Structure formats: C-alpha cells, structure tokens
Amino acid sequence: MKAIIFDWGRTLFDSETKNEFPEAEEILVLCRKRGYRLAVASLVSIHANASLEERTKQIENSPLRKFFEVAAVTDEDKDKILDEVVAKLDLPREEILIVDDRIIRGIKYGNLRNHPTVWLQKGKFENELPNEETKTPTFIIHSLSELTEII
C-alpha cells in the first residue's frame, strides 16, 4: 500500500461532539512516518448535522488537515468523490487503502473496485453488516488505534 483514503465523519472526527477523535492525529502521524500518502473524502448526507460548507470548513480548519494531500467533500455522491481522490493520487487501486465506518459507502466502494479496505466497526453504524452487495472488508477494526496493526 502506498496511500490511504480516510472517511471524515465518525472515522477521524466525532460528528456528535464536533471534535477530532483523540487517536486520530497519532494514527495520521504514524501513517506519514511510514511513508503513506494521505487523503480524506467525506459525504455530507441529508441527515448530517453539517452542511457542505460547514464540513469543508471543519476539515480545512482541523489540525488534521496538514496530513492530507487531498481533501474532498461532497453532498451528492461519495463514489464520485472517491473516484476523484483516487485519480488525484494516481496509483493503482490495490495500493490505496480505504478506511471508513460505513459498509454501504466507503467499504462497498473499495471492495467493488479492488482496493484493500478497513472497516472501523464502531459507533452509529457498527451494526451495518457486510452482505453480498457490499462484500466483506479486507480488515475489521474496532478502534482507530488498531490501524497500527495493519499499516
């Protein structure tokens, strides 16, 4: 693997408290030390507690922003924004790891396009289980700090 695309909400950023998860910066520092190129892709759904502008501002003003070569936010289609991020990274898909808390979004996208995937199975969507349509994630973790065992 040469790059990692992280989801934002409920993966690096706690959507309820509006703060970065405490372990997020530590993980991103480690990823950078190990030479990974990093990106963040975020979908603002109609149920989110933020607008497209607010989410963009959250990421741009976050102390985590400095770690990301690419930061992309959409309120329409996560697959499309992930395609754009993958294109910007310009690497083979099998060399780009996708880390997400949603089976039906980032994990499904990655599984169906030959990316290795890490499902962060915690929080609001931890019971959203893999199925035939989404396929099974490459890895399952229950806290972001477990990512150290994969990278």
- Topology of domain 3-149, per CATH? Rossmann fold (3.40.50)
What per-residue confidence (pLDDT) applies to 45? 77
What is the rounded average pLDDT of the residues 48-65?
A: 90
Q: Where are the domains of the chain?
A: 3-149
What per-residue confidence (pLDDT) applies to 27? 98
Tokens of 54: 């607010």
Phi-psi region of 90 (alpha: psi -120 to 50; beta: other; left: phi over 0): left
Give exposure, 46-77, as e/b (b: 16+ Cβ within 10 Å): eeeebeeeebbebbeebebeebbebbbbbbee
SS3 (DSSP) at 52: helix
Task: Work out whether the CA dihedral 118, 144, 75, 40 comes out positive or negative.
Answer: negative
Q: What is the pTM of this model?
A: 0.96
Kindly report, residue by residue over 71-84, the tens digit of the pLDDT.
Answer: 999 999 999 999 99
